[in-house]
Amino acid sequence: MKSGWTLADAPPQTGRIAVVTGANSGIGREVALGMATLGATVVLACRNPETSVAARDDIVGRVPGAEVEIVELDLASLDSVHAAADEIRGRHLTIDLLVNNAGVMRARRELTPDGFEMDFGTNYLGHYALTGLLMDRLLGADAARIVTVGSHAHRAGNIDFDDLQMERTFSSAGAYSRAKLAQMLFALELDRRLSDAGVKAISLAAHPGGTRTGVMREQSRFLQWAYHAPSLRWLTDRFIMDPPDGALPILRAATDPKARGGEYYGPIGSFGLAGAPVLVEPSVKATDREVAARLWDIGAELTGVPIDLG
C-alpha cells in the first residue's frame, strides 16, 4: 500500500540544471543525490572543498554517469557569493532549480566577514544575494524553481528591525529561528513578485522536520547526544528522521508537477517532524507582506544586490 510521496513519484529531470547550496552533507547532499538520480546536472555549492569532493564522488559512485559539479561557496561572505555566482553563470546559461539549503546555527554570537550577525547573514542575506545574482539564469530557464529550505523553528522567530545585529537580544535559538523566518518571508515574497512580473519561475519552501543533520554541531553535547544517540533511536525515530527521508519535502517542492508557487512542504507525521512530505501551512508571521517587503528592501541594501525580475 502506498505510504506517501517518494522519489519514485518524481518525473525525470534529465537536461535540467540544479544548484544546491550546502550539498556536501546532510539534507543538501541527499537532495543533490536525488536530483542526480532523476537525471539532472547538479552543482554542489559548498564551503568545504574536501567534503564537496567526497560528496561528488559518493553521488557519482551511486549514480553511474551522473553529472556533478562543485563550486566553492561560503554564504557568510558576500565576496564568496559573488565569486560563486560568477562561476556558475560562466558554466550555465540557464538554471532550472536553485535549492537554498545551506545553513548555520551558532552557539554564540558571531559576525560574518561583512559584519552581519552570523545566522542572519548566512542563512538569509547570503541566499538573498545568491538568488539575486543568479536570477537572470533562472528566468532564462523554461520554468525554474527556487526552493528555500525552511524549518519548523521559523514559527518561533521574530524580526526586530531595530536590532538586526542582535546586540541586545542574542540567543542561539532566537538567532536561528529569526533567520529561518526571514528565509520563509523571502520565499513567499519572491513568489509574489515573480507572479506579478508575469514570469514562469516560481518560489516555494519546504522543511525537513526533525532530521539528524550537522546543523546541531555547535550546540550542547546533550542536544547532540539526544539527536544522534543510537541508544535512543527507539524513541527519537518517532519524530526525528535520517537525511534521506528529511530531504523528501525539498525534493517534492523541487520536482512535483502539481506544486505551485508559494507552497510549503513538510512531513505529515508527529507534530510535523516526521513522515511523508505533504503540503503544509507556514506560520502567520511568514505570510506578513509588510514585514516581507521591508525585509526584501533590507536584503537589497545590506548585500548591494538588487533582484531584477525583468
CATH code where residue 21 lies: 3.40.50.720
211 vs 115, higher pLDDT: 115
Residue 22, pLDDT score: 97
Residue 310, pLDDT score: 81
217 occurs within a structural domain: yes
39 occurs within a structural domain: yes
The model's pLDDT over 217-230, given as tens digits with 9 standing for 90+, comes to 444 454 444 444 55
Provide the percentage of residues in the chain whose pLDDT is more than 70.
Answer: 86
Provide the percentage of residues in the chain whose pLDDT is more than 90.
Answer: 83
CA–chain centroid gap for 105, Å, is: 14
In angstroms, the CA 42 to CA 52 distance is: 12
Contact assessment for residue 46 and residue 73, using Cβ atoms and an 8 Å cutoff? yes
Residue 237, pLDDT score: 46
What is the mean pLDDT of the segment spanning 174-181? 97
In angstroms, the CA 131 to CA 119 distance is: 17
The rounded mean pLDDT for the chain is: 90
Residue 234, pLDDT score: 34
Residue 111, beta-bridge partner list: 117
Residue 241, beta-bridge partner list: 211
Domains of the chain: total: 1
**Nine-digit cell at 166?**
542582535
The model's pLDDT over 242-292, given as tens digits with 9 standing for 90+, comes to 777 899 999 999 999 999 999 999 998 656 576 789 999 999 999 999 999
Residue 227, pLDDT score: 46
List the single range of 95-99, 103-107, 180-184, 249-253 with lowest mean pLDDT. 103-107
4 occurs within a structural domain: no
The model's pLDDT over 190-202, given as tens digits with 9 standing for 90+, comes to 999 999 999 999 9
Domain that holds residue 85: 11-301
Residue 233, pLDDT score: 44
23 occurs within a structural domain: yes
Say how many C-beta atoms besides its own lie within 10 A of residue 171's C-beta: 12
Instruction: Answer whether 0.85 is exceeded by the pTM.
Output: yes
Asked if residue 121 has pLDDT above 70, the reply is yes
What is the mean pLDDT of the segment spanning 97-122? 97
Residue 105, beta-bridge partner list: none
309 occurs within a structural domain: no
174 occurs within a structural domain: yes
What is the mean pLDDT of the segment spanning 99-104? 96
1 occurs within a structural domain: no
The residues assigned a catalytic role are 176
What is the mean pLDDT of the segment spanning 7-19? 98
Q: Which residue has the cell 541594501?
A: 301
Residue 18, pLDDT score: 98
